[in-house]
Amino acid sequence: MNEQLGGLKKGMIVSPIENGTVIDHLPPGRAVRIAQMLGLMEGAVVIIGQNLKSTKYGRKDLIKVENRFLTDEECSRIAIFAPEATVNIIKNYELVEKRKVSIPDVVEGIAVCSNANCITNKEPVPTRMLTVSRSPVKMACHYCGYEVRAEDLRFRG
Ligand code: CTP
Ligand code: ZN
């Protein structure tokens, strides 16, 4: 293991991880929601940093999760709440890949339509949310047209 990472560096308040994913540059206050959306809160070792100082963005949130790697689809879901997020893949304490996320055109199945009368809330029909604006991010239900801003989008479970 790298000497520098072994002892915490001065000013470092969140320790390095051995294997897993670091989801960085999240807007302040979004980390818990994103971790819940990805289902990281059930059993995995997760470190959440909130309102950390960032040279690039002033303040940021960050998620570190051990032994969990994200699919492309999971990365694109992160982008709905954090278009500037960086997904870092760590193996044996080394950074092996740094990915930018991009907002998906469509999110299938996991979101909830906010319209109580929508067919997806009455019948066992999987939801289908379409991205209708990218800045700010807005999604619309494919079935009923109901629009929500990213911060109001809810997920199952
Ligand atoms: N990291 C970690 N464990 C490791 C290696 C890196 O938790 N074993 C974390 C770092 O603390 C950082 C992120 O992974 O939050 C990305 O690492 P790195 O690219 O080295 O940091 P920066 O240069 O600050 O990244 P960026 O340029 O994306 O801001
Ligand atoms: Zn709907």
Lowest mean pLDDT among 37-46, 86-95, 99-108, 119-128: 37-46
Q: Which residues have CB under 6 Å of ligand 1? A: 5, 16-17, 22, 24, 62, 64, 86, 88, 90, 93, 95, 98
pLDDT tens digits along 29-54: 999 999 999 999 888 999 999 999 88
Q: Under DSSP, is residue 70 helix (H, G, I), strand (E, B) or coil?
A: coil
- Token look-up 């997020």 returns 85
CA 156 to centroid of ligand 2, rounded, Å: 14
pLDDT at 134 over 70: yes
Residue 133: per-residue pLDDT: 97
User: What is the pTM for the complete model shown?
Assistant: 0.88
Q: Which residues contact 67 (CB under 8 A, 6 or more apart)?
A: 19, 20, 44, 45
Q: Which ligand is nearest to the CA of 93?
A: 1
pLDDT band at 56 (very low <50, low <70, confident <90, very high): confident
Measured from the alpha carbon of residue 121, the closest ligand is 2
Annotate 118-155 with b (16+ C-beta within 10 A) or e (fewer).
bebbeeeeebbbebeeeeebbbbbebeebbbebeebeb
For 94-146, strand residue ranges (E) read 94-100, 106-108, 111-112, 128-134, 137-141
pLDDT at 2: 46
Task: Report the pLDDT value the prediction gives residue 10, as an integer from 0 to 100.
Answer: 62
Domains of the chain listed by start with CATH number: 17-100 (3.30.70.140), 106-155 (2.30.30.20)
